[in-house]
Amino acid sequence: MRSVARRASQDELKKQVGFKAVDDYVKSGTVIGLGTGSTAAFAVERVGEKLKSGELKDIIAIPTSIRTKEQAEGLGIPLATLDTHSDLDVAIDGADEVDPALNLVKGGGGALFREKIVEMCAKKFIVIVDESKLCDGLGPGFPVPVEIVPFCHEHTMRQIAALPALAGCEPVLRLGNVANNQKDGDEPAITDNGNYIVDLKCSPQRPCGRWRTAQGDGGCGGPWPLHRHDHRLHCGWL
């Protein structure tokens, strides 16, 4: 019973922060990036609600996943792609972990690749999390997802594991449903882009703040080193 109550209160927190992000940062006539995940879904819901009530008009939205696209279509939110609208006023999305320097782990829901492309095009990037996502160092609390191509994926996983900055981390191929990092199937999870995801499990002794070099070494994903000075990034949490 308590876990149901806790989940309900966490959903309420997600709804509050998702709705507030839209109320505070989305104006009529803007182009917005719509994130993916259970928290971002509340922001998408709020955009649809305000379009329906007439509080918002002339919105163009860029979804970061097929499932966000489908949710937005169901709400009547006008959609486009970066091919026609690559200058976004704001993007709103959740995160799996946030460290004190506002570096993020994203991709727990399998959408990291498109999220990163869309959210890097936004003048302002609003990250909405509940306090359970806050951490001292990325990685030990949540495996860091990296999207890789299926071609010779075991070789790629060995290459990732061999990166000096990732010594001691265990790359695990995501199996089953791509929308979570739980093993709920026997086949590799497939992203919207037809790729695989490797979840990097690291030890408490190796927070991945040092992993920026891994990303610099041709990592395809991994931690988002968005520094505090990144004027675009605003992180709200309850």
**Interaction site with ligand R5P (CB under 6 A):** 35-40, 93-96, 106-112, 115
Q: What would the two tokens of residue 162 be?
A: 């061999």
Please check whether residue 37 is in contact with residue 108, taking contact to mean a CB–CB distance below 8 angstroms: yes
Q: Which is nearer to ligand R5P, 160 or 189 (CB)?
A: 189
**CB of residue 96 to ligand R5P, shortest distance in Å:** 5
Instruction: State how far the Cα of 37 lies from the Cα of 180, in Å rounded to an integer.
Output: 10
Closest separation in Å from C-beta 167 to ligand R5P: 25
CB 96, CB 133: distance < 8 Å: yes
Amino acid at 152: C
Query: Helix, strand or coil for residue 70?
Result: helix
Residue (11 or 170) nearer to ligand R5P, CB: 11
Task: Say which of 115, 154, 170, 187 is annotated catalytic.
Answer: 115
What letter represents residue 216's amino acid? G
Question: Is 115 considered catalytic here?
Answer: yes
Residue 66: CB atoms within 10 Å: 13
Which CB sits closer to ligand R5P, 58 or 237?
Answer: 237
Do residues 150 and 113 lie in contact, with contact meaning Cβ atoms separated by under 8 Å? no
**CB-nearer residue toward ligand R5P: 109 or 207:** 109
Shortest reach from residue 193's CB to ligand R5P, in Å? 12
Closest separation in Å from C-beta 209 to ligand R5P: 19
Active site amino acids: 115
